[in-house]
Amino acid sequence: MKKIPKFKTESEERAFWEENDSSDYLDWSKAEQVVFPSLKPTTRAISLRLPESMLAQIKVEANKRDVPYQSLMKMWLSEHLPHSV
């Protein structure tokens, strides 16, 4: 195994891993799966323009399910996007 160099910055490390294969530096057969139960995904606020009638329909559907309309929209998007591990 090759030795992982010391990096001065995160961007320097990112550039290194973009150009190098991690299997030359790590024995992945000894890797263990870990779970971070308290880790929350980073979120970003966006602005989305919708026709008022569409937003009204979404709010009606959210009210039927007793959830905030933004949460319902996130649920719908999540259901229709491919998921990674």
Structural domain tally of the chain? Answer: 2
Evaluate whether residue 19 is within a structural domain.
yes
Evaluate whether residue 79 is within a structural domain.
yes
Over residues 58-75, mean pLDDT: 97
Q: Are residues 50 and 80 in the same domain?
A: yes
What was the pLDDT predicted at 84?
A: 53
In angstroms, rounded to a whole number, what is the distance separating the alpha carbons of residues 44 and 74?
12
Q: What angle do CA 59, 41, 43 make, to 5 degrees?
A: 50
What was the pLDDT predicted at 24?
A: 96
**Domain encompassing residue 21:** 1-28
Q: Are residues 53 and 84 in the same domain?
A: yes
Evaluate whether residue 35 is within a structural domain.
no
Q: Are residues 84 and 51 in the same domain?
A: yes
Determine the residue type at 47.
Answer: S
Evaluate whether residue 41 is within a structural domain.
no
